[in-house]
Structure 1
Amino acid sequence: MIGLDLNRLNEAAVIIYACCVLFYFIDFVHTNRRASKIAFWLLSIVWLLQTIFLFYEMAVFGTFPILNIVEGLYFYTWVLVTLSLVLNWMQKADFIPFFTSVLGFIMLALHTFAISQNQPGQLSEQLISELSIIHITMAILSYGAFSLSFVFSMLYLLQYRLLKKKQWGKKLIRINDLSTLDHMAYLLNVTGVPMLLLSLILGSIWAFIKVPDFQWYDPKVTGSFGVIIVYSIYLYIKIVKDQQGKPIALWNAAAFLVLLINFFLFGSLSRFHVYS
């Protein structure tokens, strides 16, 4: 029972860590101090959960938990989280906590999957299944964000067309202004990209452990990373190039088409994915 509770502690840390990375990403691309503060407090909760687990391991086994690769991985993650908190608290390196958190999330996910392998058969399957559910849930949430972003871009293009042709009427009044539509599409993509990235990290670790002949060039895997790349290019064009208006809305529509191809076509071609 204690082992199960400790694994629940790790699962909770993974979920909270994912939310932390999401808020750090929002601050990274949008310079949002409120998001940075939320990420800091979420990271503090992760650190607290990890510290409880760390001291429990020391109390039970009477040794410092670095004697094997699994324990060393966990301590390494704890060090990363601690350093991230210190750097964030010092406010001398705004972007470092984000990149460190992504690395820490990967290490924590690897550790959580690794310790689940050491549990009794049924418990191990349950824990790995629950982690895969987190992966699927995050992927679906990201797809939902991308879908809504696509809707806002389509409304932008419709509003743009109505204004250009000077077709005044009820449709024009009921649709939000162009700047609002553009901004909402952008915010949804800012939310969707890190969620899909974290989902792919968890999914890749799960597949590497559970699928005997897992191949990185599986259509679903390469297609999912393709979706990440396309939407990352959207964010690059939007933020760095400061692209506005119709071109960025068309790019967003094209990115959603790539997402649909990956979901329906590549999903059916995949050798192991749950959607196939």
Structure 2
Amino acid sequence: MEMSLTRINEVAIILYAICVLLYFIDFLHINRKAKRAAFWLLSIVWLLQTIFLFARMFQTGRFPVLNVFEGLYFYTWVLVTLSVVLNKFLRAEFIIFFTNVIGFIMMSLHTFAPTQYVSAAVSSQLVSELLLIHITMAILSYGAFSLSFVFSILYTFQYNLLKKKKWGKRLLRIEDLSKLDHMSYVLNVIGVPMLLLSLILGSIWAYIKLDTFFWYDTKVFGSIMVMLVYSIYLYMRIVKEWQGKSVALLNIASFLVLLINFFLFGSLSRFHFWGS
């Protein structure tokens, strides 16, 4: 029963992560399809949470709010319920996105915190699964950033060919500048929230698993720097309306920061790659 209820929460967390990603896309670049899909995923998450809540009530014979973990779950359920209501009746993308980021953090804390489980085996398995989800989401975000980097390199190469008026087969084999620029931007829009969610899950794992967690660890610092530089990219692109070669060069520089974090900071970290 304990593991079955936990599986419901794990499915809900995966759906919730996709939901936050879609809300982020709608938040940055008004997109009705993304918002509609996010709303339906959020509704499914709410349904799964409600099933879990009533199952706990049946299991314990009371309303499950008498300890910190039960209260945390009910708090998350309230946040998701409010998000569903706000999404349905108000145009409040900014509020909905950040409310769901908080909800995702709280739900992850509730699901993967080992002290709430009676079985030590269940606790250990869940902590391992949390690490797996963290690493998978980080790698997927890095993949999106890598493809974005490739599009920016192609954009710069294409731009220089056009500026020098070097017409030829190579020019015809590369996509036009506007498409390269757009694809680079879209991939970063996908990568940034995925990296954010990965950092959240990684922090929760470190808090649970490690005796001492240092925020100034090189890998942690480097990951925050990566998050920051790509957030600056989105800010310059959306708010300052940078376009063309300047934003492509900024994206290339951001990817170099990512490489430094992955290869150099990762090797200097006190717990990454061997902390598990």
TM norm. shorter chain > 0.5: yes
Alignment partners' CA distance in 2, 1:97 and 1:227:
25
Secondary structure of the equivalent of 1:83? helix
Alignment partners' CA distance in 1, 2:198 and 2:79:
21
Secondary structure of the equivalent of 2:255? helix
Indicate whether 1:10 and 2:16 are aligned.
no
Deviation at 1:116, TM superposition (A): 6.5
Deviation at 1:7, TM superposition (A): 0.8
Alignment CA distance shift 1:45-1:262 (3 Å): same
Q: Deviations over 1:87-122 (max 9, x none)?
A: 000033222111110000000001011256524222
- 1:211 corresponds in structure 2 to 210
Alignment CA distance shift 1:99-1:155 (3 Å): same
Counting only pairs closer than 5 Å after superposition, residues 43-192 of structure 1 correspond to structure 2 as 43-115=42-114, 118-192=117-191
Alignment partners' CA distance in 1, 2:21 and 2:80:
15
Query: For residue 144 of structure 2, what is the amino acid of its counterpart?
Result: A
- 1:259 corresponds in structure 2 to 258
Is the CA contact (8 Å cut-off) linking 2:152 and 2:249 kept in structure 1? yes
- 1:21 corresponds in structure 2 to 20
- 2:193 corresponds in structure 1 to 194
Deviation at 1:214, TM superposition (A): 1.1
Alignment partners' CA distance in 1, 2:270 and 2:231:
27
Alignment partners' CA distance in 1, 2:265 and 2:43:
39
Deviation at 1:126, TM superposition (A): 1.0
Indicate whether 1:242 and 2:241 are aligned.
yes
Q: Deviations over 1:26-77 (max 9, x none)?
A: 0000111110011100100110010001001111111111101000000000
Alignment CA distance shift 1:174-1:130 (3 Å): same
Alignment partners' CA distance in 2, 1:90 and 1:131:
34
Q: Deviations over 1:219-242 (max 9, x none)?
A: 101110110000000000000011
TM-score, normalised to structure 2, is 0.97
Query: For residue 156 of structure 1, what is the amino acid of its counterpart?
Result: Y
Alignment CA distance shift 1:223-1:119 (3 Å): farther
Is the CA contact (8 Å cut-off) linking 2:148 and 2:188 kept in structure 1? yes
Q: Deviations over 1:132-166 (max 9, x none)?
A: 10110000000000000000000000000000000
Secondary structure of the equivalent of 1:95? helix
Alignment partners' CA distance in 2, 1:189 and 1:245:
16
- 1:39 corresponds in structure 2 to 38
Query: For residue 14 of structure 2, what is the amino acid of its counterpart?
Result: I
Is the CA contact (8 Å cut-off) linking 2:23 and 2:97 kept in structure 1? yes
Q: How many matched pairs?
A: 275
Alignment partners' CA distance in 1, 2:57 and 2:46:
16
4+ runs deviating over 6 angstroms: none
Indicate whether 1:227 and 2:212 are aligned.
no
Percentage of matched positions with identical amino acids: 69
RMSD of equivalent CA atoms? 1.1
Deviation at 1:255, TM superposition (A): 0.2
Q: Which runs of 5+ in 1 are unaligned?
A: none
